[in-house]
Amino acid sequence: MAKYIQPSEKVQHIARCGECDGLVAISELSKGQHAECPRCHNRLQSKDRWSLRRCAIIALSILILMPFALKYPLLSADLIGVTVDASIWGGVWKMATEGYPVTAFMVFLTAIFAPISFCLSVIILRGCQILKRKPRNLLIAIDYLKPWVMFDVYLVAIGVSAFKVRDYATLVFDIYLIAFIATAILMTLLFAKINPRELWNDFYPQYVQLTPENAEKLSENPPHFCHSCDYTFVRPLQDNKSRNICPRCHSLLNRSATISLQQTWAPLLAGIIMLFPANLYPISYTFMNNIPTGDTLISGVITFIGMGSYFVAFVVFAASIFVPISKALIMLYLLASIHFNWRHSIKWQMRLFHIIHFVGRWSMLDLFVLAMMMSLVTRGQIINFSVGPAAFYFGASVFLTMIATMNFDSRLLWKIYDRQAK
């Protein structure tokens, strides 16, 4: 439940909201409660999380299941009497060895490296907690790893691949698919019950939170806020170049609006450019008796419609075409709102930003389907499958637009709203 602070309640500390830059007085929370910013409804603090010990047990369970989920076959296809097993690692390996190493690396990063690294990080954090170490860099790294873990997207990709191959071969779901589904469920549970940024308070309790006793000084000296560890404080430290840094995580502060916009515009424009060849070139080739048939993103959707798989066609269309294009257009609109001071509804703008931030990762669905198809339909058979040139451009576009979304500073939108409210 949301915890809104009433004037009669005892204020425990004051925090600055990372999304709208507002100051919020937060009272002591009970178990199961969380504090929200009253302006933008951004979650500031939560008591609805598991202990690091329990999260480490979940992470260890995931690592135990990982070899069965990644290395062993999840699907088996009977192609004219020849049985072919499909695994995640097999798809990545075939994609890399058959001339598409960069595309294979994108799949490897999000389907293998990021999940394993995230779980290892949680376990190492638990070890640091037992040994009373201060894992500053690890806490920063785990927050960056979280958006790139895409086991849930890969689970949907397996279903799409099964629909795509069922007209060519007899499919059998192997028992190791249970291990993959269990891993995906446990990973989702771990994401829901661990908050990397709130772990900072557990590992660095010596950095006290801003209290109401300092409130009279805030008008003269507004508090600083660190986006890397969500820490609100009055006095920053300085590095050897006399730049202000966070006293807790040592990240640079006071990033100018110009730099912030440049770090958003650059990957966004590059991602938009990549969308053109991604939609024009074939993303895959299917060989029937050595006769190639190229499929673009839109023709793949049309194929599913022709097969009568309307729901699968909708999922592929949403992930491959609608989401990437809509995400680019919405980001262009939000950036234009900042540059031209458009005074539109701030609630609507923030809702759009949160939507694209959540759904953007699902565009990786197509690359995961390609990896599964590479593993299922191998060269040398009557029916062959190969990755097309659009796969690289599409994957690069997904990565670049995700980076642009992560770099976007929503406080710039709220500054326009604040000027309008005066």
The ranges assigned to domains in the chain are 2-48+208-245, 52-199+256-421
d(CA 128, CA 81): 53
CB–CB of 62/183 below 8 Å?
A: yes
Tens-digit pLDDT profile for residues 225-260: 888 888 888 888 888 888 888 888 888 887 778 888
Q: Cα-flanking dihedrals φ and ψ of residue 231, to 5°? A: -110, 130
CB–CB of 9/26 below 8 Å?
A: no
Question: Residue 144 above 60 pLDDT?
Answer: yes
Residue 186 C-beta-side C-alpha neighbours within 13 Å: 24
Residue 142 Ramachandran class (φ > 0 left, ψ -120 to 50 alpha, else beta): alpha
Hunting for tokens 């954090």 — which residue is that?
A: 125
CB–CB of 62/115 below 8 Å?
A: yes
Average pLDDT on 20-43 reads 81
Which sign, positive or negative, has the C-alpha torsion 187, 189, 193, 195?
positive
d(CA 92, CA 161): 15
Average pLDDT on 332-342 reads 91
Crossing angle of helices 257-280 and 411-421, rounded to 10° = 120
**pTM to 2 decimals?**
0.87
Crossing angle of helices 297-306 and 310-317, rounded to 10° = 170
d(CA 51, CA 241): 38
d(CA 299, CA 294): 9
Question: Residue 393 above 90 pLDDT?
Answer: yes
Give the pLDDT score at 8.
40
At residue 115 the predicted structure's pLDDT band, cuts being 50, 70 and 90, is: very high
Q: Cα-flanking dihedrals φ and ψ of residue 150, to 5°? A: -130, 45
Give the pLDDT score at 40.
84
Give the pLDDT score at 383.
61
* Close Cβ partners of 328 (under 8 Å, ≥ 6 residues apart): 268, 271, 272, 275, 401
239-256: burial string, b at 16+ Cβ within 10 Å, e else: eeeeeebbbbbeeebeee
CB–CB of 249/228 below 8 Å?
A: yes
How many C-beta atoms lie closer than 10 Å to residue 273's C-beta? 14
Question: Residue 107 above 90 pLDDT?
Answer: yes
Question: Residue 305 above 60 pLDDT?
Answer: yes
